[in-house]
Chains A and B, each alone.
Chain A
Amino acid sequence: MALPDPNTVPLRPGFASRLLNWSTWVVLVGLFVVSLQQTGFDVEALTSGSQDFVRFFRRLVPDWTALPQIWRPLLETLQIAYLATLLGTLLGLPLIFLASYNTTVNGPVMWVARSVLTVLRSIPDLLYAAILAPILAPGPLPGVVALTIFTMAVLAKLASETVESIDPGPLEALRAVGAGRNRVIVYAVLPQIAATMTSFVLYIFEINVRASVVIGYVGAGGVGFLLLRYLNFFDWGGVAALIVVIFAVVLLIDLLSVWARSRLI
């Protein structure tokens, strides 16, 4: 029997690990308290500070006459998400292979590709949209460009991890018969990652749909612009109808995408 003797097994962890445990908790609680003070977080301001909060939600009764106005921007939202996902995937493909150690050209190129991706990824999609809207004229174009950049960065990150974990056998076999890097990628790497990649693309499409719903708020096209207008005109019926429609569309696309992804892998 390889079971340890119960008398020699220490009953509690050593002093050092207990100290680390406790200090982690102290640091976390301290950070939380500092955060509460610094941000002036106050739930009561939301609830009791004014009955406005409750009254606000009571006013949110959908006004379905706003529907004819909603369809067109809603379609634009989906167009933005679709185009951005497609363009981002196409532009991201070469980056995936440059950023993976087993398919890259050489060390420095891989390092540059990874650094560029890290920087691109650290900027949130809505921020891209807010910056690009004044540059590229307000409308769907900055939205498409913003989400394309975001798609590219996220996809390349996710997929290069997949590429680095594939079976090296087929790659070696192709190299052994004299195939160049591009042939290796097409015939050995792509077949191995196709299913996972498709799943990632669908997942990013879900994220892009969510994002494209709100980027209109900063002038980048889609249904968010309508939301801003309804809010500015205190058209609560329109706001409520819009929220219900957005909820339904996002949920539908999510469910479809989750279903498709569950069949892929």
Chain B
Amino acid sequence: MTTAPIPPTPAHVVRTRWLLGIGLVLLLALAVLALVTMNLPTWSRVQSGLARNLVPLLRGFVNPAWHVFELASTSMLETMFMAVIGTTIAGVIAFPLSFLAAGNLLGNARFALPGKGLLVGVRTFPEILLAIIFVAAAGPGPTAGIMAMGIHSIGFLGKIFSDVIEGIDAGPNEAIRAAGGNALHVFLFSVVPQVLPEFASSLLYRFEINLRAAAVLGLVGAGGIGLPLIQRLQFRRWDEVSMFLVVIVTFIIVVDTLSSSVRRRLV
């Protein structure tokens, strides 16, 4: 028995390999360029910074500062309340908006363009940037943070909601119309029941994101656990910083686990 010779590599595969290689080289060259032109600190500065700050931070994890545990937990709870309000407000406003951004219910995909554009515009602003602006406009506090979170989430939820609406089955709509129902009946008894589980699931998902966002809003003065945390960072109280980190991480992991188990049952 003779073995067949290995066929030569097809031309298009060779071409793809070349293109991939060139692409990778370009990516790396750009990275080197970015690194070289960047304003980096000297190695000795980094070393001394690590010795002075990282070591106490890590020591704080082994030997946590329990006296700030209560403060950290109560401010984390306040952070969660901020996320609850922000997500609720966003959900309530995004619900009607999403119907204006869904092409299938408006009759013509073109009618949905203004709604889609509005949502993209809202989504583009990073929420921390919004929070910074609101703090400058209305003073520090949770209200500024909640508003920032709420507005940014409208863009996100509106997009996901309208995607869900565009994906619904048109059959039940037609059935209700054929049985003599009007547009309101179609909306109440076909559209809403079809989209509700997905809406609830994306609201929960956004709540998870907002909880993380709310934990850092305080860094710019917009309420929540970030404010006591940045004070401790400024005074280099590393043992207390590690306690705060432990509380934040534990809280977020617990909420994430609960929320994703509920989401799995919803959809």
User: Which A residues fall within an 8 A CB radius of B?
Assistant: 31-32, 34-36, 38-43, 45-46, 49-50, 52-53, 56-57, 76, 79, 82-83, 86, 118-119, 122-124, 126-127, 130-131, 134-137, 139-141, 210-211, 213-214, 217-218, 221, 227, 231, 239, 243, 246-247, 250-251, 254
Contacts and interface: CB of A to CB of B under 8 A. Distances in A.
Given A32-B84, A76-B38, A134 B216 contact: no
Contacts of B264: none
B233 interface: yes
A74 to B, nearest CB: 13
A40 B142 contact: yes
Interface in B56-97: 57, 77-78, 80-82, 84-85, 88
Contacts of B35: 83
Interface string B209-220: 000110110011
Contacts of A251: 120-121, 124
Contacts of B57: 131, 135
A156 to B, nearest CB: 16
A172 B252 CA distance: 38
Contacts, number: 162
A5 B130 CA distance: 56
A71 B54 CA distance: 33
A40 B248 CA distance: 22
A123 B84 contact: no
B22 interface: no
Given A82-B31, A135-B49, A137-B49, A35 B37 contact: no
B60 to A, nearest CB: 11
Contacts of B143: 39-43, 45-46
Given A141-B46, A214-B129, A247-B124, 14 more contacts: A39-B82, A40-B141, A40-B142, A45-B143, A46-B134, A53-B138, A83-B38, A126-B219, A139-B41, A141-B40, A218-B230, A227-B129, A243-B129, A251-B124
Given A41-B146, A124-B216, A139 B129 contact: no
29 contacts: A32-B84, A34-B81, A39-B85, A39-B142, A42-B143, A43-B147, A45-B138, A45-B143, A46-B138, A46-B143, A122-B212, A122-B253, A127-B216, A127-B219, A127-B229, A130-B229, A131-B233, A134-B236, A139-B41, A140-B38, A141-B46, A213-B126, A217-B128, A217-B220, A218-B230, A231-B136, A243-B133, A247-B124, A251-B120
Interface string B109-121: 0000000000011
B45 interface: yes
Enumerate the 3 nearest inter-chain pairs by beta-carbon distance, A residue then B residue, closest first: A35-B81, A137-B41, A56-B137
